[in-house]
Structure 1
Amino acid sequence: MGSIKIFFITIFSGLLIASGLSASNVEVTSSELINNAKEYDKKEVIYSGEVIGDIMKRDEHAWINISDGSNAIGVWIPFEETEKIGFTGQYKYKGDIVKITGIFNRACSEHGGDLDIHAKSIEIIERGYEIKRNINFYGLIAGIVLFIIAMSLSLVIYSKKL
């Protein structure tokens, strides 16, 4: 009786461990993808991060860049899926946080050997927003005063040389 119990525990533990080692359908970081590219190559992965830069339309697809804070990875996505994206990260905007499910390619033959993900789906996790930037009026006034002083000194030096 005890050996049967141990047998089933061993089998169950082995199945749990083996399912955890599969690269398919696991959420990964950009560092994991870059450092373990061979392991994840041609496998389905889940990758999350901020949409940054521009959406670059190419026929029925588009390129988007997703940054997880460490690196950015190019994602090849059906163009109609990009309509879900409200904001892309730029100076004035925080981009949408998305979850991409797709096939990882360490050297994509379709795209000149680039490392990329061919997305099957995109899910918006958090909407982006406009970043409000306040002007530092004290800094602005100090800059104007320093500019006037520098111009005055330049004129004095220039007039003495003539």
Structure 2
Amino acid sequence: MIGLSAPMRLASKGVAALALALSLYMSPAVALAEGEDENTVNPQQLPDSSFIFDTSIADLSSADSYYDNQTVQIVGEAVGDSIAVEGDPDHRWITLMSRDPSSNASISVFMTDEQAERIDAFGKYGTTGTMLQVRGTFHLVCPEHSGLTDLHAEHVSVVDKGKHHEEPFSLEAFIPGAVVVAVGLVVTGVFYWLRERRR
């Protein structure tokens, strides 16, 4: 800075420092403006305050008030039968059994006739029922159905179709029972023989 006085040199350095600070401050803002499209808020989107809890039938069978009136999603096997709802010809009661072999938990599901028609088989001896994924509102004490713990289905989809399977006949399965019966007959005979001998 030839020919500039000390105050002028100091002022020019201050302007340069201010320009550098402004450029550093503005670069993130420019980058943010360029990436705004990725985080744009859609004003047309409807508010949604619900949460979907992906849970199990076993958990719901021992649920507390935390799950009450919450939107939950479960997977289970349709068992028993499709039961008509008294006074409501458009809905059915379906029982879903836990798919966990170590649990026999079940839950009653309130669904429409159209949803229930997706079930092609109900679980029983020799048959594996249709596996359903159900999303809906869980009621610990349902105000519409006399305080029953139930699930009101909103969306029902088939995870796996039902299967019919015949249990193969196995003679070996009868051997333990036959041995027990034979031992019982022998013990009974000995008992009567001893009783007659004491007379």
* TM-score when normalising by structure 2: 0.60
Give the whole-Å Cα distance in 1 for the aligned partners of 2:129 and 2:183.
41
For 1:63, the aligned partner's letter is W
Q: 2:134 aligns with which of 85, 96, 100?
A: 100
Give the whole-Å Cα distance in 2 for the aligned partners of 1:104 and 1:158.
62
Give the whole-Å Cα distance in 2 for the aligned partners of 1:3 and 1:56.
62
Cα deviation for residue 37 of structure 1 reads 0.9
Larger Rg: 2
Give the whole-Å Cα distance in 2 for the aligned partners of 1:76 and 1:52.
14
| 1:123 maps onto 2:157 in alignment | yes
Give the whole-Å Cα distance in 1 for the aligned partners of 2:155 and 2:186.
61
Task: Classify the secondary structure of the residue corresponding to 2:144.
Answer: coil
Give the whole-Å Cα distance in 2 for the aligned partners of 1:5 and 1:77.
51
Higher relative contact order (CA 8 A, sep 6+): 1
Cα deviation for residue 154 of structure 1 reads 0.8
Deviation sequence 1:16-64 (CA, Å, 0-9, x none): xxxxx9544x3621327935314xx154x43322112332222422211
Task: Classify the secondary structure of the residue corresponding to 1:108.
Answer: coil
Identity rate, percent: 23
Asked if the contact 2:142–2:148 (Cα under 8 Å) also holds between the matched residues in 1, the reply is yes
Write 1 or 2 for the structure with the bigger share of strand: 1
**Correspondence 1:76-87 to 2 at 5 A:** 76-87=110-121
Change (3 A) 1:131 1:23: farther
Deviates more, 1:130-139 or 1:149-158: 130-139
Cα deviation for residue 133 of structure 1 reads 2.3
For 1:52, the equivalent position in structure 2 comes to 79
Asked if the contact 2:50–2:70 (Cα under 8 Å) also holds between the matched residues in 1, the reply is no
| 1:140 maps onto 2:170 in alignment | no
For 1:18, the equivalent position in structure 2 comes to none
Change (3 A) 1:117 1:141: closer
For 1:66, the equivalent position in structure 2 comes to 96
* TM-score when normalising by structure 1: 0.71
Give the whole-Å Cα distance in 1 for the aligned partners of 2:31 and 2:142.
48
Task: Classify the secondary structure of the residue corresponding to 2:175.
Answer: helix
Q: Which runs of 5+ in 1 are unaligned?
A: 13-20
For 1:101, the aligned partner's letter is R
For 2:117, the aligned partner's letter is E
Backbone CA RMSD of aligned residues: 3.3
